[in-house]
């Protein structure tokens, strides 16, 4: 065949490398920056972009109506993620900025401040080295759709837009109780955040604009234009209820800003399901494989198929399988490598269970180039696992499976045909659980980050959570727990 007409096939190793290092996302981000900035020298611009290494830094808008605690939450958030806090007040305090000076002049003359001037002031701050390297949280801006469009036109695009909101009655009550320390500028509240120091209490005064009429006016003004902000950032905004303690609000904000947006990058699932006997690994693997048409790779099933096919390899491992003894790792890895190397696994992806069972096997799998991008641990209490396994039985006539509690045999005649598999005896199940617990901690450390799932619930509920973690990018935290 003419080489010009051959199908272009990308090697699996390239896909693994590109996913690990975010090559697609980097190119996508670079293209966006090129289209916005339109540099005269695109090549040098891209080189400089690589040197910045700032694609993962926080870029957050924190918005919402008055008195939702935006500034308080923003300060706590910046402390937690080590980024820069930007407000209109602290940007205007920069006496060296010509844009800040121009805004002060317009304020003194009671003239309207153009949105473009605000945008240039913000861009000036975002262009500073510290904001480029550590990211930023911008509080209280934009307030209207027009301001949002101006920011977009000059290339200011946040990764996350967080909107704090609460019922109007709550906001009014909060504002009426607000007090300000005239020396430090710290904000307190007569109900929620009253200082213990008598000295500080004597310095507190009511700020301007906190009467009920003024508060209602500001809230109504926000409600009138808020839909424009939602439309401007329809795929990025996330609304959080601010009518709760600030630490709870912070927790929800932190969880959201550490998440990643869905990507259009090519993605091949490579999933490993770990868990004790009876945790439902085989069922979850079958559900995932069926819905997403990826390959279900069961270690035990592959070994049985090799024995049944009477191949040379099957004859070698047959004594181990028939005597229920562990097959040597080198033989198991040979069988697994043959299956994972096939084209369907490379192109469609795979979900594996039953292997690896310890760190030594995990290292061999990794050295062979088979690296998972999702590792789940299905957590089930030992009592539940024993109940699931020791009470299940199989109809020797039809092959149908039953369980004494969850799916009893329909009649005494069928029950008479049922037998319990010897491997499901109390002694064997207990031994298998002990082996699992002896290796689980090291496996978790080896595969960090891992995703823990409470598997002691309805199987379809477990599947829905696993599915959500498969189709959505992993958050920036190192571990996830359900």
Residue whose token pair is 């109504």: 220
Using only C-alpha atoms, the chain has a radius of gyration, in whole angstroms, of 30
Q: 358 — phi, psi (to 5°)?
A: -150, 175
Rounded Cα distance between 175 and 198, Å, is 22
Taking the C-alpha atoms of residue 160 and residue 28, their distance in angstroms, rounded to an integer, is 17
CATH 3.40.50.300 positions along the chain are: 12-39+58-257, 270-298+331-481
Q: What is the pLDDT of residue 434?
A: 92
363-369: long-range pairs with CB below 8 Å, 24+: 363/446, 364/329, 364/333, 365/333, 365/336, 368/333, 368/337, 369/12, 369/13, 369/16
Which CATH architecture fits 12-39+58-257?
3-Layer(aba) Sandwich (3.40)
Tokens of 16: 């693994």
Tens-digit pLDDT profile for the chain (482 aa)? 444 555 545 566 677 777 777 788 778 778 877 877 788 888 888 887 777 666 678 999 999 998 898 998 999 999 999 999 999 999 998 878 899 999 999 989 989 999 999 999 999 999 898 898 899 999 999 999 999 999 988 888 899 999 999 999 988 888 887 788 877 777 777 777 778 888 888 788 877 777 888 888 999 999 999 999 999 998 889 999 999 988 999 999 998 998 887 777 778 899 999 999 999 999 999 999 999 999 999 998 998 888 888 888 888 888 888 887 888 888 999 899 889 988 888 888 999 999 999 999 999 999 888 889 899 999 999 999 998 888 888 888 888 888 888 888 888 888 888 888 888 888 888 998 999 999 999 999 999 889 999 999 999 999 999 999 888 877 765 333 33
- Give residue 481's pLDDT: 38
Query: Residues near 36 by Cβ (< 8 Å), separated by ≥ 6?
Result: 154, 155
User: SS in 3 state form for the chain?
Assistant: CCHHHCCCCCCHHHHHHHHHCCHHHHHHHHHHHHHHHCCCCHHHHHHHHHHHCCCCCCEEEEECCCCCCHHHHHHHHHHHHCCEEECHHHHHCCCCCHHHHHHHHHHHCCCCCCHHHHHHHHHHHHCCHHHHHHCEEEECCCCCHHHHHHHHHCCCCCCEEEEEECCHHHHHHHHHCEEEECCCCCEEECCCECCCCHHHHHCEECCCCCCHHHHHHHHHHHHHHHHHHHHHCCCCEEEEECCCCHHHHHHHHHHHHCCCCCCCCCCCCEEEEECCCCCCHHHHHHHHHHHHCCEEEEHHHHHHHHHHCCCHHHHHHHHHHHCCCCCCHHHHHHHHHHHHCCHHHHHHCEEEECCCCCHHHHHHHHHCCCCCCEEEEEECCHHHHHHHHHCEEEECCCCCEEECCCECCCCHHHHHHEECCHHHCHHHHHHHHHHHHHHHHHHHHHHCCCEEEECCCCHHHHHHHHHHHHHCCCCCCCCEEC
Q: According to the CATH classification, is domain 270-298+331-481 in 3.90.1010.10?
A: no
pLDDT of residue 476: 66
Q: What is the per-residue pLDDT for 369?
A: 85
Model pTM score = 0.69
Asked whether 136 and 87 are in contact (CB, 8 A), the reply is no
């Amino acid at each position: 065949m003419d080489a010009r007409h051959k199908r272009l096939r990308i090697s699996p190793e390239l896909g693994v490398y590109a996913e690990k290092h975010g090559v697609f996302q980097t190119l996508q981000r670079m293209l966006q920056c090129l289209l916005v900035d339109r540099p005269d020298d695109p090549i040098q611009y891209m080189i400089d972009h690589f040197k910045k290494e700032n694609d993962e830094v926080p870029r957050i808008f924190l918005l919402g109506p008055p008195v939702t605690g935006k500034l308080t939450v923003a300060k706590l958030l910046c402390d937690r993620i080590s980024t820069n806090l930007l407000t209109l007040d602290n940007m205007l305090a920069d006496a060296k900025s010509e844009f800040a000076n121009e805004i002060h002049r317009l304020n003194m003359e009671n003239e309207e401040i153009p949105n473009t001037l605000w945008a240039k002031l913000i861009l000036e701050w975002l262009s500073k080295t510290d904001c480029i390297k550590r990211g930023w949280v911008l509080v209280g801006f934009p307030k209207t759709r027009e301001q949002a469009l101006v920011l977009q036109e000059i290339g200011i695009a946040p990764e996350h837009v967080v909107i704090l909101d609460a019922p109007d009655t709550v906001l009014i009550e909060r504002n009426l109780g607000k007090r300000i320390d005239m020396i430090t500028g710290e904000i307190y509240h007569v109900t929620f955040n009253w200082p213990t120091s008598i000295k500080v209490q004597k310095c507190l005064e009511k700020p301007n604009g906190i009467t009920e009429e003024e508060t209602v006016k500001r809230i109504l003004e926000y409600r009138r234009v808020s839909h424009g902000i939602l439309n401007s950032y329809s795929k990025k905004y996330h609304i959080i209820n601010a009518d709760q303690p600030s630490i709870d609000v912070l927790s929800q904000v932190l969880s959201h800003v550490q998440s990643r947006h869905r990507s259009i990058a090519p993605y091949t699932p490579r999933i490993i399901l770990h868990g004790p006997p009876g945790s439902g690994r085989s069922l979850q693997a079958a559900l995932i494989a069926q819905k997403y048409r990826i390959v279900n790779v069961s270690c035990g099933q592959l070994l049985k198929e090799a024995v049944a096919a009477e191949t040379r390899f099957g004859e070698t491992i047959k004594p181990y399988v028939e005597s229920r003894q562990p097959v040597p790792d080198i033989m198991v890895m040979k069988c697994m490598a043959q299956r994972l190397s096939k084209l369907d696994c490379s192109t469609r992806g795979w979900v594996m269970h039953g292997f690896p069972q310890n760190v030594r096997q995990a290292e061999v799998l990794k050295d062979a180039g088979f690296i998972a991008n999702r590792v789940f641990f299905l957590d089930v209490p030992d009592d539940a696992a024993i109940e699931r396994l020791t009470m299940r039985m199989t109809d020797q006539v039809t092959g149908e499976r039953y369980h004494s509690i969850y799916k009893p045999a329909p009649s005494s005649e069928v029950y008479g045909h049922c037998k319990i598999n010897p491997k499901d005896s109390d002694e064997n199940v207990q031994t298998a659980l002990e082996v699992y617990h002896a290796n689980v901690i090291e496996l978790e450390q080896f595969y960090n980050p891992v995703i823990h799932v409470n598997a002691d619930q309805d199987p379809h509920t477990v599947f829905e959570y696993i599915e959500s973690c498969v189709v959505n990018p992993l958050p920036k935290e190192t571990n996830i727990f359900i």
